[in-house]
Chains A and B, each alone.
Chain A
Amino acid sequence: MEENHVDHTCEFLMIGGSAGSLEVLFRLLPLLRPDLPFPVALVLHRRNSSDSSLAELLGSKTLNPTQEVEDKEPITPGTIYLAPADYHLLIEQDRTFSLDYSEKINFSRPSIDVSFESAAEIYGPGLVGILLSGANEDGTGGLMAVKRAGGRAVVQNPDTAQMPFMPHYALTHLAIDHVFDTIQMAAFINSLV
């Protein structure tokens, strides 16, 4: 499959994760090159609190600037953005972030589906979506939207996931472009232009 289509430039990388995904990011982020030519957004299920120390913790693992999103913030290439706890993360036509406090989706806020769907509308074939470890169905519907819009869908190899359910659920529901362990994922991201 992969050989058949010409890979589009990556304009936006969105990574969704739930239980067991932080450990992956702690290993993945230090492996990423420091001058990523596209923006990265991390949409993670986590405890509801206004505590923003997770962004600092993740930022300590990478040379790329890392920050929690504020409403209507412009999206800058090379920056790693973290979706704030208890808000859905959306993307506007003018490529700024929007936050939304509407109902939880898949028992989650932020919902990975919501962010993937929103990013797919804006970035289309320029979007790469990666789904990590988790014990929830969130993310699969979103990856379907990524694929429909012409983007690429990647999941963590369930055999390497602390909670294999989430990537496995995606694998059984749509045609995933790549299944990677952490090392392969880092090499893939570093090769994106």
Chain B
Amino acid sequence: MIDEEDIDLLLNDLFDLYGYDFTRYSRASLKRRIVRLCSLDKFPSFAELRYRVRSDPQYLKRFVEEVTVNVTEMFRDPAFYKSVREEVLPVLGTKPFIRIWHAGCSTGEEVYSMAILLKEANLLRRSLLYATDLNPSVLEKVRKGIFPLALMKQYSESYIASGGTHDFSSYYTAQYGQAKFDNELSEKIIISTHNLVSDSSFNEFDLILCRNVLIYFDKDLQDRVLNLFDASLGTLGYLALGTKETLKFSAVHNKFKQLNREKIWKKIM
């Protein structure tokens, strides 16, 4: 059994030794991830996990990877992508240049989904997609644009449900059980580590997507991140969150107007 004081000690270590601040992560989920890792890596006690994290920077990498959730998929919530297609991209298309930020992009499935939408709207050539995550190893996967071939059937169905009319398999090459997405898509993706907890705004964007990331943060940290997004959005820029996330309880909510049933807001001031 791991109690709250143990978690606090570990989180203090992580901050003092490595500068990673998990103290304002949603505790219920974080604790579950730590307990899971403890049993996955067969530590006889929590103290030994803590010792390993303190003394082995290589293990720290694994710790951060496993404790943060990196589950994602292409065209998750097709209705959301349909709305981006029909209501957001036509407006962004009036701009000479389009900057999009995927904050907490994990392995990049949503970034490639967006690149496909931009290509189909003939906007990809004048767009840049910034893909950031705190975790360098997942960003390596974004760079490669290689996802398991076995998932393509499901992704293809979601793509079609999002209003896609092309043959989804035309966007990738199948090889050795993997699907490698076209360079035409990946060359528009700029990859960088960025920690939403501690890093600041680095550009001005027309659209920021941060879906199913805020759920892992507590209220205070959610507010910090939403302020960061507010500061990083141009006038009339768009912010997209996950289907169960909301601006409703945040300080910035009166600066935004929700577009429709989907979790997309437009910055109005």
- Which A residues have a C-beta under 8 Å from some C-beta of B? 50, 68-72, 84, 87, 90-93, 96, 98-103, 114, 117-118, 121-122
Selected contact of A71 from candidates B27, B71, B214, CB within 8 Å = B214
Establish whether residues A87 and B27, one from each chain, have CB atoms under 8 Å apart when the complex forms.
Answer: no
26 A-B pairs whose Cβ atoms sit less than 8 Å apart in the complex: A50-B79, A50-B80, A70-B245, A70-B248, A71-B246, A72-B215, A72-B218, A72-B222, A84-B243, A90-B28, A90-B29, A93-B27, A93-B28, A98-B29, A99-B244, A100-B26, A100-B28, A100-B29, A100-B215, A101-B69, A101-B71, A102-B29, A102-B32, A102-B71, A118-B32, A121-B28
Is the CB–CB distance between B69 and A102 below 8 Å?
A: yes
7 extra A-B contacts, CB within 8 A, seeds A72-B222, A92-B218, A121-B28: A72-B215, A72-B219, A100-B29, A100-B32, A100-B215, A102-B32, A102-B33
- Give, as a whole number of angstroms, the nearest-CB distance from B76 to chain A: 9
User: Within residues 1 to 48 of chain B, which ones have a CB less than 8 A from any CB in chain A?
Assistant: 4, 26-29, 32-33
Known: A72-B219, A98-B26. A87 touches B244 (CB 8 A): yes
- Closest residue of B by beta carbon distance from A109: B71
Asked if B65 is at the interface (CB within 8 A of a chain A CB), the reply is no
Say yes or no for B216: interface residue by CB 8 A criterion: yes
Query: Least Cβ distance of A124 to chain B in Å?
Result: 13
Q: How far is the CA of A92 from the CA of B27 in the complex (A)?
A: 7
Select from chain B the residue with minimum beta-carbon distance to A68: B244
Tell me the minimal C-beta distance from A40 to chain B in angstroms: 19
Residues 205-226 of B, flagged 1 when their CB comes within 8 A of A and 0 if not, give 0000000101110110010000
Cβ of B204 under 8 Å from chain A: no
CB of B5, distance to nearest CB on chain A (Å):
13
Q: Smallest CB–CB gap between B35 and chain A, Å? A: 9
Q: Determine if A72 and B28 form an interchain contact, defined as CB atoms under 8 angstroms apart.
A: no
Contacts of B218 in A (CB 8 A): 72, 92
Query: Is the pair A92, B245 in contact by a Cβ cutoff of 8 Å?
Result: no
Closest-CB distance, B206 to chain A (whole angstroms)? 25
- Residues of chain B touching chain A, judged by Cβ–Cβ distance below 8 Å, are 4, 26-29, 32-33, 69, 71, 77, 79-80, 212, 214-216, 218-219, 222, 242-246, 248-249
Report the nearest A residue to B248, measured CB to CB: A70
B32 and A92: CB pair below 8 A?
no
Q: Are A118 and B246 within 8 A (Cβ)?
A: no
CB neighbours of A92 from chain B (8 A) = 26-28, 218
> Which residues of chain A come closer than 8 Å to B69, judged between CB atoms?
100-102
Residue of A nearest to B161 (CB): A49
Q: Contact check: which of B32, B71, B242 meets A114 at CB < 8 Å? A: B32
| Contact A50 B77, beta carbon cutoff 8 Å | yes
Residue pair B28, A71 in contact (C-beta under 8 Å) = no
* Set A68, A98, A118, A122: member contacting B215, Cβ < 8 A: A98
CA distance A178 to B50 in the complex (A): 41
| B244 lies within 8 A of A70 (CB) | yes
**Bound form: Cα–Cα A28–B139 in Å:** 48
A50 near B243: Cβ-Cβ < 8 Å: yes
CB distance from A73 to the nearest CB of B (A): 9
CA distance A93 to B219 in the complex (A): 13
Q: Which residue of B lies closest to A148 (CB)?
A: B1
A18 CB to closest chain B CB (Å) equals 21
Chain B residue contacts of A69, Cβ below 8 A: 244
Cα-based distance from A122 to B216 in the complex (angstroms): 18
Cβ–Cβ < 8 Å partners of A96 in chain B:
219
List the A side residues contacting B28 at CB < 8 Å.
90-93, 98, 100, 118, 121-122
Of all A-B residue pairs in the complex, the 9 with the closest CB atoms, nearest first, are A90-B28, A100-B29, A102-B69, A99-B215, A98-B26, A71-B215, A101-B212, A50-B243, A98-B28
A114 CB contacts on chain B under 8 angstroms: 32
Chain B contacts of A118 at CB under 8 A? 28, 32
In the complex formed, the residue of A with least CB distance to B69 is A102
A103 to B32, CA, bound (A): 12
Query: Which residues of B sit under 8 angstroms from A103, Cβ to Cβ?
Result: 71
Q: Please determine whether B71 and A70 come into contact, CB atoms closer than 8 angstroms.
A: no
For the complex formed, measure the closest distance between the CB of B31 and the CB atoms of chain A, giving whole angstroms.
8
CB distance from A193 to the nearest CB of B (A): 27
